[in-house]
Amino acid sequence: MTAGAPAVEGRPPAPARAGVREGPSRLATTLLVLPAGLWYLFLLILPIGIVMLFSLGNRGETGGYAGGFTFANYEGAFRNPSPFVTSLYLSIAGTVACLLVGLPLAYFIATRAGKRKTLFIILLVVPFWTSFLIRTYSWLILLGRDGLAGWFVDVTGNESFRILGTDAAVLLGLVYGYLPLMVFPLYVTLERMDRTLLDASKDLGAGRWATFRQITLPIALPGLITGSILVFIPMMGEYVIPQILGYGQTFTIGNALVLRFLEFRDWPAGSAQAVGLIFVMFVTISFYLWFTNRGRQVREQSVL
Amino acid sequence: MSAPAVPLPAERTMRGQVKQGVDRFGGLVEVWLRAHALLVYAFLYIPIVVVVFYSFNGTDQRVMDWEGFSLRWYEYVAENNEVQRYLWNSVIVGLGTAIISTLFGTMAALGLQRVPRFVRLPFDALTYVSVIVPELVIALATLVFFATTIGREGILTNATGITIGFGYHTIIGALTLFNMSLTLLLVRARLSGMDRTHVEASYDLYATPLRTFWQITLPALLPAIVAGFLLSFTFAFDDYLITTFVNGQGTSTLPLYVFGQIKRGVTPATNVIATLMLLVTLTLLVGGQWLLGRYARRSGGGRGLGEGGVAQIVAEGGT
């Protein structure tokens, strides 16, 4: 069903290339792609289109959407930007923290782990594929009054000390939840790195720091950017972590959206905020595409 | 952050004192890299170990007050009908999502090989968008979409008087978007790395397209399809956010129950449920990895779940 035409009876089999071009019927191809296409249309394009439409409307008396054309929802979102600011600063801090923790780890796996590379990667994948909720919840135990915070209170005697319900706890949860997404792309780029470059750099008298800055870092840059995007975007829309580890005190865009849609049923105002979140995502991805295309052009030029 | 090391330790180079001097922190950097890796893995696993460990706590007071090994909370959960209903819902949602995602994702990956550019490019863009878009956006957008179309006051009810409402179908529908795209990417990566000579040989031997598919293409794609299925199941089984938004009467899943428990105050029973959830997903993933490993050894080559999977494919697609 995938490739090549049926060899026509009574004729010697067509050369493979020509066969590939003929292929199974157009109808078969359409039927193969159709369900996924319908899914994209009905569960991605239309819903987001509706959100954009609703963001310009009025709230119904009992919640929901009541038509109209107004920018009031956007004005409202701009007048109270604090959830956005909180999410933005937490996501940027979380991305930087993931980078600081992830880069040395990716470097270690790519260059020092030898035959156990796959094992190290599997060990990184396993927690990532287990329940996000459970992993976040476990920090509730670890950081609570029976865990780290309690221990700290015992040691210092500072009764008011707590970790849960602070930005620090949320940040820790974010790094814990998304670290693997930073390490994978970094590992992929570092693993492909031509090690002789490092020897060459050394032979030319460069120190470790100079070699890192001038060889390793530029080579790792595509992975670094990919990793940063992969952690930054979901962190922006995170709800579970600030809700559980921040007790909802750290009020992110995620908290705001859940409140608007599930508690207040204020769809238009919520939609405006959601469009804001989509916009941030759009800008981030545009930057990413611009960056990767730029890299490609540079590479092509250097080949010429 | 200090600089990662150069591969050869200074002592083994034959190039005089200058490099020896440059590399005097070499040993320190090596130790630091190792210690860092060790700490990160501890950071990743300690929370999981703690949850499992305290699920065996005999206490009826605070979760972390260890009062000896006991299975009493396991018995409690085993006898709790409510928990079993949620578990059953999670299994239905997980299986439904996995089957639909794997089927349609694989079909699309196969079909996309032969569509014209003006179809493929937007299709690819939509695939990447549905993987990367924050789950919350999908959750709220599908809620609004379902509510306005098939909900109680939706278009369908106004027009015909029939209300479909929310339930398993809305949860599975919304969860399938991400998981179908994920499977599509996994299968496509496998397709692009496939040896085409077998397919061509099959046609040269007068096999029909369908026969070629069953005997050559499908076996070659099987690891990616299995990986897609297992991942879709675990993601759907564990999902909280989308399910919260689009669930219906009586279709709440286990993660929703756990979240409610967390908000109300955790008990050792919460740890038991958490442990069981970890067990379900880990068994599937380890079992799948093992199967794929055996399969790969038999059929030669192939990559399992372990090699970075999703993120690696996204990373390779991007760089």
* Domains present along chain B, CATH in parentheses: 10-46 (no CATH), 82-318 (1.10.3720.10)
Q: Round to whole Å and give the CA distance between A220 and A289.
A: 17
* pLDDT of amino acid B17: 43
Closest by CA position to A190, among listed A105, A256, A268, A275: A105
User: Please, which residues bridge with residue B57 across strands?
Assistant: B69
Residues of A with Cβ-Cβ distance to B234 under 8 angstroms: 129-130
* pLDDT of amino acid A156: 82
* pLDDT of amino acid B36: 95
What A197-204 contacts at long range (C-beta under 8 Å, 24+ apart), as own/partner pairs, is A198/B6, A198/B7, A199/B6, A199/B7, A199/B8, A201/B6, A202/B6, A202/B8, A202/B13, A202/B19, A202/B22, A202/B23, A203/B15
Q: Round to whole Å and give the CA distance between A137 and A135.
A: 5
CATH 1.10.3720.10 fits A82-303, yes or no: yes
Residue A36 has pLDDT above 80, yes or no: yes
Residues A219-231 as b or e (16 or more Cβ within 10 Å = b) = bbebbbbbbbbbb
Residue A43 has pLDDT above 80, yes or no: yes
Q: How many CA atoms lie within 13 A of A275 on its CB side?
A: 21
The pLDDT mean for chain A works out to 85
Q: Round to whole Å and give the CA distance between A257 and A238.
A: 10
A192 in B contact zone (CB under 8 Å): no
Q: Among A199-203, B25-29, B38-42, B63-67, which is the least confidently predicted range?
A: B63-67
Using the Cα atoms of residue B193, residue B197, residue B198 and residue B202 in order, give the sign of their dihedral.
positive
Using the Cα atoms of residue B292, residue B293, residue B297 and residue B301 in order, give the sign of their dihedral.
positive
Residues 135-154 of A with CB under 8 A from B: 135, 137-142, 144, 146-147
What B14-22 contacts at long range (C-beta under 8 Å, 24+ apart), as own/partner pairs, is B15/A203, B18/A205, B19/A202, B19/A205, B22/A202, B22/A205, B22/A206, B22/A207, B22/A208
For residues A116 and A171, the model is more confident at A171
pLDDT tens profile B179-195:
999 999 999 988 887 77
Closest by CA position to A182, among listed A109, A111, A119: A109
Q: Residue A114 corresponds to which amino acid?
A: G
Residues of B with Cβ-Cβ distance to A240 under 8 angstroms: 240-241, 259
Most confident of A13-22, A279-288, B169-178: B169-178
A48 in B contact zone (CB under 8 Å): yes
**B164 Cβ partners below 8 Å, 6+ apart?**
B150, B156
Residues of B with Cβ-Cβ distance to A203 under 8 angstroms: 15
What is the helix, strand, coil percentage profile of chain B, to 5? 75, 0, 25
For residues B66 and B256, the model is more confident at B256
Report the predicted TM-score, pTM, of the whole model to 2 decimal places. 0.85
Residue B297 has pLDDT above 80, yes or no: no
- What token pair was written down for A138? 């476990």
Which of the four pLDDT bands, split at 50, 70 and 90, describes residue A302?
A: low
Tokens 């979102």 — which residue? Answer: A77
pLDDT tens profile A70-123:
888 898 888 888 999 999 999 999 999 999 999 999 999 998 888 888 888 888
Residue B208, sorted as left (phi over 0), alpha (psi -120 to 50) or beta, turns out to be: beta
For residues A299 and A158, the model is more confident at A158
Closest residue of A to B28, CA-based? A208
- What token pair was written down for B150? 């098939």
Are A247 and B265 in contact by the 8 Å Cβ rule? The answer is no
Residue B114 has pLDDT above 50, yes or no: yes
* pLDDT of amino acid B165: 86
What percent of chain B has a predicted confidence (pLDDT) above 70? Answer: 85
* pLDDT of amino acid B307: 42
